[in-house]
Amino acid sequence: MVTILLIEDDIAFCTMLEKFLTRKSYAVTTAFSAEEAKNATKNQKFDLIITDLRLPNYDGIELMLEFKNQFPEVPVILMTGYSDVNTAVKAIKNGASDYISKPFNPEEVLLVIKNALQKNDSSNTTPSKETIEPRNLSDDFVIGISKASKKLAEYIKLVSPTDISVLIVGESGTGKEVIAKKIHENSTRKNNNFIAVDCGAIPKELAASEFFGHIKGSFTGAINDKIGCFEAANKGTLFLDEIGNLSYENQIQLLRALQERKVKPVGSNKEIEVDIRIITATNEDLREAVKNGNFREDLYHRINEFSIQSPSLVDRNEDLMIFADFFLEKANQQLHKNVIGFSKEVIAVFQSYHWPGNVRELQNIIKRATLLTSGDFIEKNVLPFEIFQAETKKENDFSLAENEKDTILNALAKTKNNKSEAAKLLAINRKTLYNKLKLFNIN
């Protein structure tokens, strides 16, 4: 069993990390100070040392150097907050195997430990940050630590093995398609196709052709036979994004196909049986649409056997820098860059910004900033102007309760009482809007 010496002066955090690593079959010895750690190394040999960069009455880098001099074969991993990342990078150049930034992503912790131990087994030289194998980023699903993220992960785990139809509800940019893909990848259909269709981008005249296919010559422009997305997704998963944008006529066609599990290509008399799982997504309140007569109630119940809320970035604020790290790593790979992290000023801007575009906006801003960054860290000067402009506007908005109520009423009037669109207009999430409606007695 791999033995780990864990040095951390925050007793609660140290205990939590110890339990996590113990569950992963590591033998962990804890020390709450440099003195305790030194005494532990006198009595036991360790395969790996993990130490906080900031310790009471002792410098973490100095302690790391002492350990490297005494035990050159034992890899040392540093734990650090974002404000100390620059120092941690310097420590790597002086012999540390790697560093982990707080707050932790559990997968990252295990990966860094695994890499440190593997590199140590294969060579007596200490690996640098650049030699560590990059994380596989083909899966865009980020495991967060927030309450909303944990609930989301729990629901995905629960519903994935079934064939239940899932409706994913959430604001634009929250990653509804990523959630749908994760459900598919954890289902019994994972070895078959995942077909995604943006219902908002299909003209209603062509929807039948997109869904069910057509045969050559069935209408003007049909110069070849075409397989529809239902047939293409056979034995797999069909994901219909922004399903609320379908016309009423197209909703009838879709409902019939879902009920009968048979489709008929446009211009053909032959029915094709399909075995598919349906996952749909919307940024609208479909119950409101049903009430207003814009969405069929029978179709709503057909697609909503199980619903999942795709949380906004505001609702999963604890995950913000986990997402930021992930998108930076992804941008580095796509742009062939080696940006290490974010400056303290950028982190402060990120944490105070309200992210109306959610994780999609965060990803776009980080990719742009990575492209513009020539040094090791992303600085404020490469962030788009809007992020500061929006923050200034946010400080000035809603200064008085009566102004806030008027602003909400105006937004509802402009969007014809569409609460999802009103929330977007106000740059707040729907949960916040509903709370304010209740607060101001707005029906």
* pTM across the whole model: 0.62
Among 360, 248, 342, residue whose Cα is nearest residue 297: 248
Q: How far lies 305's CA from each of 39, 75, 262, 300, in Å?
A: 59, 50, 20, 9
- DSSP structure class, residue 76: E
Q: Residue 45 above 70 pLDDT?
A: yes
Residue 412 and residue 329 in one domain = no
139 assigned to some structural domain: no
Q: Print the domain residue range for 339.
A: 317-395
Question: Counting beta carbons within 10 angstroms of the beta carbon of residue 345, is it exposed (0 to 12), middle (13 to 18) or buried (19 or more)?
Answer: middle
Residue 169 and residue 106 in one domain = no
What digits encode the pLDDT tens for the residues 142-182? Answer: 878 888 999 999 999 999 999 999 999 999 999 999 999 99
- Give the rounded percent of residues in the chain with a pLDDT score beyond 90: 42
- Residue 278's contacts (CB-CB under 8 Å, 6 or more residues apart) are 165, 166, 237, 238, 240, 258, 303
Residue 103 and residue 216 in one domain = no
What digits encode the pLDDT tens for the residues 332-380? Answer: 988 999 888 888 889 889 988 989 999 999 999 999 999 999 988 899 9
304 assigned to some structural domain: yes
136 assigned to some structural domain: no
CATH number, domain at 327? 1.10.8.60
Residue 279 and residue 407 in one domain = no
Q: How many residues does the chain have?
A: 443
The more confident residue out of 272 and 421 is 272
Among 204, 170, 193, 199, residue whose Cα is nearest residue 316: 170
**Per-residue burial over 7-27, b = 16 or more CB atoms within 10 Å of its CB, e = otherwise:** bbbeeeebeebbeebeeeebe
| pLDDT score of 429 | 65
Residue 277 and residue 372 in one domain = no
| pLDDT score of 283 | 92
- Residue finishing a domain among 261, 294, 310: 310
Residue 302 and residue 183 in one domain = yes
Residue 113 and residue 215 in one domain = no
Using 50, 70 and 90 to split pLDDT, how confident is the model at 57? confident
Among 48, 54, 12, residue whose Cα is nearest residue 33: 54
CATH number, domain at 413? 1.10.10
Number of domains in the chain: 4
Give the tokens for residue 282: 């919307």
Q: Residue 392 above 90 pLDDT?
A: no
Among 124-138, 229-243, 332-346, top mean pLDDT goes to: 229-243
141 assigned to some structural domain: no
Using 50, 70 and 90 to split pLDDT, how confident is the model at 124? very low
- CB contact at 8 A, 163 and 312: no
Mean pLDDT on 382-411:
65
What CA–CA distance (Å, rounded) separates 279 from 179? 10
Residue 326 and residue 183 in one domain = no
- Residue finishing a domain among 65, 96, 131: 131
140 assigned to some structural domain: no
In angstroms and rounded to an integer, the radius of gyration of the C-alpha atoms of the chain is 26
What digits encode the pLDDT tens for the residues 295-345? Answer: 999 999 999 999 999 999 988 888 888 898 889 988 998 899 988 888 888
Q: Residue 137 above 50 pLDDT?
A: no
| pLDDT score of 133 | 35
CATH number, domain at 181? 3.40.50.300
